[in-house]
């Protein structure tokens, strides 16, 4: 993939989409072969490669007993990054900053997870089913954010069963079928 390109990963349930994304995010090691990211062997230069990657799983882990704002502050300190006002406004989180995460809707949690992932300005953003189960408004906010990231030259890899996600954001589509592939 080229910098700033967006790729949609499509396939049936259990085809291996999430496993592929976790390998690309350096969370899982491939069974064989090498993983080259940013021109480096990702397994040999794991620390520097991981700094450039943001991964948003389908079911993100957030600090449920803290507010949206407290989550942003906690993860920004953990990553040594600042929370930009534009990140909060782009993901339309302002009205929910004082909401306790466990009381938030799935859409708010997903938007927060994306905000947390984007702390530190990654070069590659990988999202697993980012709009699954979201209402129309939250799904639209997520798609618009992905379009903005693409305009900023950030490389995006997204898996989805939702055709609109793929059509509106992705330059190319990668079909995966039980571990097989087709571009």
Mean pLDDT along residues 81-104 = 95
Report the relative pairing of strands 155-159 and 6-10 from DSSP bridges.
parallel
Mean pLDDT along residues 143-152 = 92
139: tokens are 């799904």
63: tokens are 């600090």
CA 33, 8, 111, 133 dihedral sign is negative
pLDDT given at position 159: 94
Say whether pLDDT at 94 is over 80: yes
What is the CATH number that goes with domain 6-182?
3.40.50.300
Instruction: Give the pLDDT band (50/70/90) at residue 182.
Output: low
CB atoms inside a 10 Å sphere around CB 12: 12
Contacts of 177 (CB under 8 A, 6+ apart): 11, 12, 15
| Residue among 127, 120, 177, 174 at smallest CA distance from 147 | 127
pLDDT given at position 15: 86
Q: Is 131 exposed, middle or buried (0-12, 13-18, 19+ CB in 10 A)?
A: buried
122: tokens are 């990654």
d(CA 65, CA 9): 33
H/E element, 175: strand 172-177
pLDDT given at position 148: 92
Mean pLDDT along residues 36-44 = 90
């Amino acid at each position: 993939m080229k910098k700033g390109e967006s790729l949609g990963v499509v396939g049936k349930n259990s085809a291996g989409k999430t496993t592929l994304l976790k390998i690309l995010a350096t969370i899982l090691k491939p069974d064989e072969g090498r993983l080259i990211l940013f021109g480096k062997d990702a397994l040999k230069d794991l620390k520097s490669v991981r700094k450039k990657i943001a991964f948003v799983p389908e079911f993100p882990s957030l600090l449920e007993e803290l507010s949206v704002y407290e989550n942003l502050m906690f993860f920004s300190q953990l990553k040594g990054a600042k929370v930009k006002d534009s990140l909060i406004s782009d993901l339309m989180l302002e009205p929910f900053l004082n909401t306790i995460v466990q009381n938030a809707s799935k859409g708010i949690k997903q938007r927060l997870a994306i905000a947390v992932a984007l702390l530190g300005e990654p070069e590659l953003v990988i999202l697993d089913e980012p709009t699954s189960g979201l209402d129309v408004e939250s799904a639209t906010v997520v798609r618009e954010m992905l379009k903005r990231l693409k305009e900023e030259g950030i490389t995006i890899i997204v898996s989805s069963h939702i055709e609109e996600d793929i059509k509106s954001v992705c330059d190319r589509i990668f079909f995966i079928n039980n571990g097989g592939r087709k571009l």
